[in-house]
Amino acid sequence: MTAYLLKRLLLAIPVLFLTIAFVFMALHLAGGDPLTTILGPGAPRELREATRARLGLDKPLPVQFIVYIGNLLRGDFGQSILNKEPVLKMIGDKLPITAELGASAFALAYLVAIPLGLTAALNRNKFFDWFTMILALIGVSMAGFWLGLILMYFFAATLKWLPPTGHGDLKHLILPTLALGLPRVGQIARITRSSVVEVLGQDYIRTARSKGLRESAVVLVHALRNALIPIVSLAGLDLGYIIGGSVVIESVFARPGIGFMMLKSIYARDFPVLQGCMIVLGVAIILSNILADLAYVVIDPRISHKSKD
């Protein structure tokens, strides 16, 4: 297990470097001058040039990138162009808010979808199966921001049960969690159903039943565990989807997390903040895929041996 983990971490290093390089180049080549935001469009040329030199924006892009990498290795993500705060401190303040939303949406999606998919597989071609798959199709077709606006209209504006925006107690978390998590329920339920149906047709399942094992033991111990591998694979991708989707959902519900901070930094051309946020989100996605790989090994230890071949 340790060797397998070290191999995955070493493979993540070049991926992380390419992610940082892509983010840096894409932002600096996208156009827009942060000096206009800082000094205004009518600032004297001398002041603009002095500020550009102070921020290091007068150097060629390759030199800026090398300096940026050196700073990252020292744990320095730079300072916000607008408010002069350290980027790492700003991210640290907002990260718990985004993590809270992402964790709750991820838990909601899988705690709802896996039982639905499993029940649909056990009732294959019956009413519950068809009903669940219709709901899954509807869920796959929904966009998170659209669902968020619908939920906000009904539960906040019309019924006034929940607050529409902001961050605070549990009530502020319910609508964003539903908007981010529910669209994933459909696809997860469909994959769970397909995987369980395939496993239930295997010879070892028929052997387990012929031995007189209880149906619950056959399904939960033998069938579900072997059906989890594609679900775990999807979970690694879903973490990335939920992390990325938090940018839109936090904007819809005005939650002061990393996603909302990224959106404001885009409008303000605050490159250090935007770069830092995207790098942190990229690291989160890479780590989520490593965790999915480790989950494979826990479910099926043969995977770690196959990796040595």
Q: What is the pLDDT of residues 124-179, one digit of tens each?
A: 888 888 988 888 888 778 888 888 899 999 998 888 898 988 787 888 899 999 99
- pLDDT value, residue 285: 82
**Hey, what domains does the chain have and what are their CATH numbers?**
87-306 (1.10.3720.10)
Indicate the pTM of the whole model: 0.81
CA dist 22 and 187 (Å) reads: 30
Residue 32 has pLDDT above 80, yes or no: no
182-195 tens-digit pLDDT: 888 888 898 899 98
